[in-house]
């Protein structure tokens, strides 16, 4: 079994995230992609605009029609901050099959500070890091052992989506329709 782990704040989850996960799933021949919303990332200065449960609900709505995509609550059910090394150790302990291959998927924007992640050298022994370039962003040098794959993903930004909602502009086409409805119904990002 080949498992991709896709972590992030997903504030909100958007079509760029889905494109990255689906493209990586196909290119890397992943059997499953586990979406792992962070309760609170130790690397982000700003707090998420939506609470952890709302972000998890939006991820569930976004992935429900995608076979092989699953929501993991590994970081939501632990106290903050969530460090990737702890999450990977937890998930691998729950599934100790030595024949499974584990991949950690992330966009190039999130990969900029990889070498500064807690126990990054140990993480490289647990999972293969796979980076997807963000549209319009120059590729930064990556640490040894990190793979870059070429995928075309839409240039969508969660911060721009939040700004659009605050300003009353439409986010149709940027997020899956059930996510857009959830944002409207729960009056998020206002």
List domains and CATH numbers for the chain. 2-185 (3.40.50.620)
**Region of poorest pLDDT, from 2-16, 39-53, 128-142, 160-174:** 39-53
pLDDT tens track for 10-49: 999 999 999 999 999 999 999 999 999 998 766 665 667 9
Distance between CA 141 and CA 172 in Å, rounded? Answer: 34
pTM of structure? 0.93
């Amino acid at each position: 079994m080949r498992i991709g782990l896709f972590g992030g704040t997903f504030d909100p989850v958007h079509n760029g995230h889905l494109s990255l996960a689906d493209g990586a799933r196909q290119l890397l021949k992943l059997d499953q992609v586990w979406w792992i919303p962070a309760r609170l990332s130790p690397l982000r200065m700003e707090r998420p605009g939506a609470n952890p449960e709302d972000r998890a609900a939006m991820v569930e709505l976004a992935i429900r029609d995608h076979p092989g995509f699953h929501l993991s609550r590994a970081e939501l059910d632990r106290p903050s901050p969530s460090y990737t090394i702890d999450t990977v150790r937890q998930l691998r302990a729950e599934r100790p099959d030595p024949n499974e291959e584990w991949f950690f998927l992330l966009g190039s924007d999130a990969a900029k500070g990889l070498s500064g992640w807690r126990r990054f050298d140990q993480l490289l022994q647990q999972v293969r890091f796979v980076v997807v370039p963000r549209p319009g962003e120059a590729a930064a040098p990556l640490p040894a052992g990190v793979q870059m794959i070429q995928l075309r993903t839409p240039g969508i930004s969660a911060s721009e989506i939040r700004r659009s909602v605050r300003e009353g502009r439409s986010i149709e086409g940027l997020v899956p329709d059930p996510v857009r409805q959830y944002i409207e119904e729960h009056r998020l990002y206002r």
